[in-house]
Amino acid sequence: MGGNEQTYVRQAFASNWLSTVGPNLTAFEREFERRIGLPGVALVSGTAAIHLGLRLLGVGPGDEVFCPTLTFAASANPVRYLGAEPVFLDSDRETWNLDPEILRHALEHRAAAGRLPKAVVVVDLFGQCADMDPILEACAPYGIPVLEDAAEALGARYKRKPAGTLGQVGAFSFNGNKIITTTGGGMLVSHNPDWVEKARFWSAQARDRGIAYQHSEIGYNYRLSNVLAGIGRGQLQVLDLRVEQRRAIAFRYRDAFADLDGISLMSQAPYGLHTNWLSCFLIDEDRFGCSRDDLIRVLDAAGVESRPVWKPLHLQPLYASAERYGGEVAADIFRRGICLPSSSSLTLEDQLYVVNQVREWVGAAPLRDLDDAHRSRGHSGLVSTAPGASDTAGVPAVFSHLNPTTS
C-alpha cells in the first residue's frame, strides 16, 4: 500500500457510502481519466471490462473474435460469454505479443472466405504494449474494431501513448497481483463517452430510468464498490513508483545473470515503455544447462516461488478445438519462459537470494550484492516513468538508491 489508501477507505466508512455508488468511486474514475486521458467506468474485474467491451463492439452469438494465444484465459473467456468463438493468433518472437503479420495474413484469409471476425482482442503482455500501429492498420480496411486488453500493462506506453488507449475500447485490471490493486477490480475506457455510459448502465444491472425496477436489457452486477475505489485512489498515486520498482527488479535480475549463458530477460521493445510487471526470462536449455521446468523445481526446493509464463490458449483443454493461425512461437515461449519473483515489495536481500539460487544451480559464483552487478555493466541514474518522459525503453533504468520496500 502507498499510505493514503486507508484514508479514503475510512472516509467511505465514515460517510456510510460502502456500496456501488459514492465519492471515492466518482473520484477514482476521474483521477484515472486524468492519468490516461480517456473516460472510464470502474468495474469488479478486468474480465468484466473485456466482457462489456466486446458487447459494446457488437460481439454476439455466432461471431468470431481474433485473440492472441499467448495470454491468460480471461482475455478469451468473455468471447464465449457472448456466444462467440475465439480464433487464436501466434506471437511475435521479439515482443511476445500479437504478431501483426500473422494478423494481416489471418484477416486476408478470412476476408477471402467471407468470415471476417467481429473484433480483435490485443493483449499488452507482462507489462509491454503490443505493436499497435501495424495492428490497427491491418484492421482498418475491414472496419474491424480493436479491444486493447491492458490488464497487465497499466503504466506502460506505446510511442508516448498510455497502454489501453490505442483501441476502440481498453480494459484494465486491479487484481491483487497487478502493479496497483483495488484487491479486485477493473476499468473500461473508450474514446466514445457514450460507450462508457452504456457500459456503466449495463454494469449496474441495466435498470431503466424511473422509480420502478424496470429492465429492458440484460445487465450485470459489475460495478466496483466505493470502498475498493478508495484503495484504488491511493494506489493510483504510487503508480509511477511501482513502475520504477518493477523495472528495477527486472534489470537487477538481468545484470545479475549477465555472465550466465542461456538466460535472457524478455525483450524491451524500442517503441515504448515496458513496466516489467513480471520479470520474465527465457531459458535456452542447451546453453543454460537445465530446462525451465528443472529451474522451477530447483527454486521451489529452495523456498522460492516461480512459474511458467502463460500457457498458450490453443494448448488448453478448454480451447483445444478452436481455430488458430500459427502457435509455434507462443508454444516455444511457454516451453522456455519463467516468471521470477517480481513483487514491488521484494527486498534486495530476497532478490539476491533468488539470484544466487539460480547461479549456484548452474555452477556460477554467488554475488555479494546486486548493486555490484549493476555497476559492472556501467549503468547509473534513473530513467523517469512520469507521463511525458522519455520512452527509451531499451535504456535500462537503475535504481540503486531506491529501496524496493519503500512505500
| pLDDT tens column, 298-345 | 999 999 999 999 999 999 999 999 999 999 999 999 999 999 999 999
The confidence score (pLDDT) of residue 2 equals 82
Q: Phi/psi of residue 240, each to 5°?
A: -60, -40
Q: Is the pLDDT of residue 374 over 50?
A: yes
H or E element at residue 302: none
How many Å apart are CA 350 and CA 308, to the nearest integer?
20
- At 143, is the pLDDT very low, low, confident or very high (cuts 50, 70, 90)? very high
What would the mean pLDDT of 19-36 be, rounded to a whole number? Answer: 94
H or E element at residue 47: helix 46-56
Identity at 225, one-letter amino acid code: S
Q: What's the pTM value of the predicted model, to 2 decimals?
A: 0.90
What would the mean pLDDT of 10-38 be, rounded to a whole number? Answer: 92
List all residues 6 or more positions away from 159 whose beta carbon is below 8 Å from its beta carbon: 133, 271, 272, 391
How many Å apart are CA 66 and CA 76, to the nearest integer?
9
List all residues 6 or more positions away from 372 whose beta carbon is below 8 Å from its beta carbon: none
- At 69, is the pLDDT very low, low, confident or very high (cuts 50, 70, 90)? very high
The confidence score (pLDDT) of residue 373 equals 67
210 with 4: CB under 8 angstroms? no
Q: What is the mean pLDDT of the chain?
A: 91
How many Å apart are CA 357 and CA 353, to the nearest integer?
6
343 with 181: CB under 8 angstroms? no
What is the set of active-site residues? 178
Tell the residue number behind the cell numbers 456510510, with chain if given: 16
Cα 195-178-150 angle, rounded to 5 deg = 35
Task: Enter the C-alpha cell of residue 192.
Answer: 466514445
* pLDDT tens-digit map of 71-110: 999 999 999 999 999 999 999 999 999 999 999 999 999 9
